[in-house]
Structure 1
Amino acid sequence: MHLAIVWAKGPAFHDKQGMNALWELLTNYGDIFCVWFDGACGEGPNGKRQEYDWDSYYAVIRELQPGAVISVCGPDIRWCGNEAGRCRESEWSVVPASVRANEKIQEKSQQADDREFARRYDSEDQDLGSRAIIQHERELVWYPAEVNTSIRPGWFYHASEDDKVRPLEELLHIYYGSVGGNASFLLNIPPDTRGLFHENDTTRLRELGDAIRNTFQTNLAVHASVNASETLNGYPAERILDGNPDTYWAPGEGTEQASIKFDLQSEMPLNHIVLREHRYSQRIERFELAYQEGGQWKPLYSGTVVGYKRICRFDTVTARFLRLTITESRWCPTISSFEVYRSL
């Protein structure tokens, strides 16, 4: 069994008390996969802001649970910047090192359990990782994003909100924007007064799980053939279809634009394409998808970053031949996976 520790802080939280609590939590409950430090930082009755010994917290976690990631106010996973369930169009995992330091104090994080904050979306800092942002930075870090929101208006259970569980389409929209946009997704489910998840919440979760499983159950590109505009020796295009996250295609070193054509072997309806870069890099800045109809290539989808996963969703088309064109990349791009699906 793997557990996550979600830690909300307040003015009564002191370093000695916090260190003792961390030690107890990290040693008595088995494997911990995540320690999630909430960004809110309140003030005490005297108006003084609480300070936290972050480095000591991190050291204890690394010692006692070396496999756990430290999220939000931590060095491993960053907060996307809002709790509305949205992330940036281009969510880079490589960002200036200063972003990680800033996460230790989140002045804009949630201060009240209300719907207004859950809907708030600030467009500030929409660009964290473009060339224009990083070209003058002295230090960069690998700091992927997490999108977090609640299945209800607030983070805690209220009987008055039993009929206000987010609709399935809204949750799917968040899923595609986060998991499908190079971020992870944390969906809060508050326990009710019985200590259980309310029936309305679990019903919606089943619907969400069924929708995701049904959409991505059958990869239509499993038996496709593939041809790339160029290939680096030892990294053939066929690796895109082998299902192995550790293998990938790449063009020659220094090539920043390339294209790959896919033959699905027969015409079939499709409305989703999933792209993945090699999991130890992120280089693609812009790409285009096209399909062939009547001997002509027609645009299907345009996107920016790919990262660990980009889910491209579009109106259903019937096609046999598909083309991926990478128009901008940092050095030579890498593609680990190209998958094709159809949702009903």
Structure 2
Amino acid sequence: MIIESPTAALTTAPRLTEAARPSPAQLAWQREELAMFVHLGINTVTDREWGDGTEDPSIFDPADLNARQWARTAREAGFGTLILTAKHHDGFCLWPTATTTHSVAASPWRGGSGDVVREAAEACASEGIRFGIYCSPWDRNAPSYGTGREYDDLLIAQLTELLTDYGDIAEVWFDGAVGESARGRQRYDWDRIIGTVRELQPGAVIFSDAGPDVRWVGNEDGVAGATCWSGIDPARVPTPGRSDPWTLDSLRHGDPEGAAWRPAETDVSIRPGWFWHESETPLDGGALLDLYLTSVGRNSKLLLNVPPNRDGLLDDADVAALHAFAELREEVFGTDLLAGAAVESDGATLVLTLPEPVTADLVTLAEDIEGGQHIAAFRVQVDDGEPGDAPWRPLTSGTTIGHLRALRIPPTRIRRLRVSIDLAYGPARLTHVGLHHHARGEHRRRADNHD
């Protein structure tokens, strides 16, 4: 239920730095909760995950490619943005770029006149969702890769095409992959790259391991840290592509004293691979709901990859899983068992009293993050209303809340719920407390509980 009178923390710890807070674009990005990744390219044809850049463009010919199907499926499943791999590490460009012949213009698809990026951008606009671009800095086909400034110029030219010819871009996605070449190891000019995006698409959020707007969660399992701050210390994650334990810990958990607001994005694929492979099958709707709880439900955003097949279509099994995922979210979150509860507050504690007892197995909490993220420790207690029972028993507890915190509990009879804020770094403003019934089945998933 929505809390009309947010609580204010009784116990506070002073911050060493002023609280980081989100920009309007970052706030909108997080409230969207779900984005769809679309990995399509030369690897779809070759049945590989990483191409080497020597592939012949003539093999790319997804005869039934239908970007409208991708965007429609994303919208129907509740995803707000679709992000397309315009160029992966193999360097094959899904648009007719002027920077290389290694592109769709050299393929038989659409008679050499096709443009996957344009079709995807137009499909997203038609379906009312936002469009994002992935452009790999690593390019295993470009002869200038590893030369420094010469390759930087090529990458900037490609970004300029992508960011000026396809309308508004919601998110620009850079991974940190860096490869060796005969010409050496490329050192990307990130200041220039980020400056180009800022100039051409000022409303876009920029993802990389290190931000500057959105950070990686530190794994590809679909699991954010049980403690997940949106703030981060930029000095601990200075450049994309670092994967030492120090960096991964910072990415997973964030930092309550972090000077930069860089919320975590949890990227994971619906299939074992990122590109489509005939031998693989997708996760089911229940497993996708589990991923939602360990990503969005831990103050992150879920970026779920759904790869088109060699015909250029999302497989029926993937589409069915996405629809089941949407139905399950509605089934679980569409009914708040706390609706109609009476609310009392003493400043650091909320007590919610229901007219009649309910049975729940999922608790959700939300914090007002417009002014920053402050809650560092909370407890939830329960009174089942049975005569003779202790009035308050521990139910669950945690550290951070942020945009959303979802906590599974054993099926529990609840008449009254008490939420206590034990530690906060500033005014702790709860905006939502919910109880739900999540009938847990045996779902097939690959993620472990990375706390």
Residue 437 of structure 2 aligns with an amino acid whose one-letter code is: R
Residue 78 of structure 1, CA deviation: 0.3
What secondary structure, in the 3-state scheme, does the structure 1 residue paired with 2:271 have? coil
By how many angstroms is 1:69 displaced? Answer: 0.5
TM-score by length of 2: 0.61
One-letter code aligned to 2:171? C
Greater Cα shift, 220-229 or 83-92 = 220-229
Distance 2:235 2:315 in 1: 41
Aligned to 2:424: 329
Q: Which residue does the alignment assign to 2:205? A: 69
Change (3 A) 1:77 1:125: closer
Verify the 8 A CA contact 1:3 1:33 in the aligned structure 2: yes
What is the aligned partner in structure 2 of residue 3 from structure 1?
131
Query: 1:268 maps to which residue?
Result: 358
TM-score (norm 1): 0.79
Matches within 5 A, 1:291-302: 291-293=382-384, 294=386, 296-302=391-397
Structure 1 residue 125: Cα displacement: 5.1
The answer to whether the Cα contact below 8 Å between 2:217 and 2:252 also exists between their aligned partners in 1 is no
Which among 310, 316, 324 is matched to residue 193 of structure 1? 310
Match of 1:239? none
Asked whether the 8 Å contact 1:10–1:41 carries over to 2, the reply is yes
Cα distance, 1:192 vs structure 2: 0.4
| 1:210 alignment partner in structure 2 | 327
Structure-2 separation of matches of 1:23 and 1:166: 36
- Tell me if the contact between 1:40 and 1:106 (Cα under 8 Å) persists in the aligned partners: no
Alignment deviations for residues 120-149 of structure 1 (CA, whole Å, 9 cap, x no partner): xx9855874456xx4xxxx72111111111
Shift in Å, 1:156: 0.8
Aligned counterparts, 1:82-161, within 5 A: 82-102=219-239, 104-107=240-243, 124=249, 128-129=253-254, 134=257, 140-161=259-280
Which of structure 1's runs of 4+ aligned residues deviate more than 6 A?
A: none
Q: Deviations over 1:69-101 (max 9, x none)?
A: 101243000001111222211011112121442
Give the Cα–Cα distance (whole angstroms) in 2 for the partners of residues 204 and 97 of structure 1.
Answer: 38
Aligned pairs (5 A) from 1:25-44: 25-44=162-181
CA 55–187 in structure 1, closer or farther in 2 if over 3 Å, else same: same
* Structure (1 or 2) with the greater strand fraction: 1
Read off the aligned partner of 2:294 and give its amino acid letter. G
Q: AA paired with 1:264?
A: L
1:97–1:125 Cα change, 3 Å: closer
C-alpha deviation, 1:166, in angstroms: 2.3
After the TM superposition, which residues 217-296 of structure 1 pair with which residues of structure 2 at under 5 Å, given as runs?
217-230=334-347, 258-280=348-370, 281-293=372-384, 294=386, 296=391
Give the count of matched residue pairs. Answer: 294
Give the fraction of aligned pairs with identical amino acids, expressed as a percent: 35
Distance 1:205 1:184, change over 3 A: same
User: Are the counterparts in 1 of residues 376 and 400 from structure 2 also a CA contact under 8 Å?
Assistant: yes
SS of corresponding position for 1:101: coil
Matches within 5 A, 1:37-52: 37-46=174-183, 48-52=184-188
Q: In 1, Cα distance between the equivalents of 2:232 and 2:255?
A: 9
Give the secondary structure class of the aligned counterpart of 1:336: strand
Gaps of 5+ in 2: 1-124, 146-150, 440-451
Deviates more, 1:164-173 or 1:17-26: 164-173
Where 1:196 maps in the other structure, the secondary structure is coil
Cα 1:105–1:211 change in 2 (3 A) is: same
> Equivalents in 2 of 1:98, 1:216: separation in Å?
38
Would the aligned equivalents of 1:273 and 1:312 in 2 still touch at CA under 8 Å?
A: yes
Asked if the contact 2:137/2:188 (under 8 Å) is kept, the reply is no
Query: Does the residue aligned with 1:263 lie in a helix, a strand or coil?
Result: strand
C-alpha distance in 2 between matches for 1:305 and 1:194: 44
Aligned-residue CA RMSD in angstroms?
2.2
**Distance in 1 between residues matched to 2:296 and 2:243, nearest whole Å:** 26
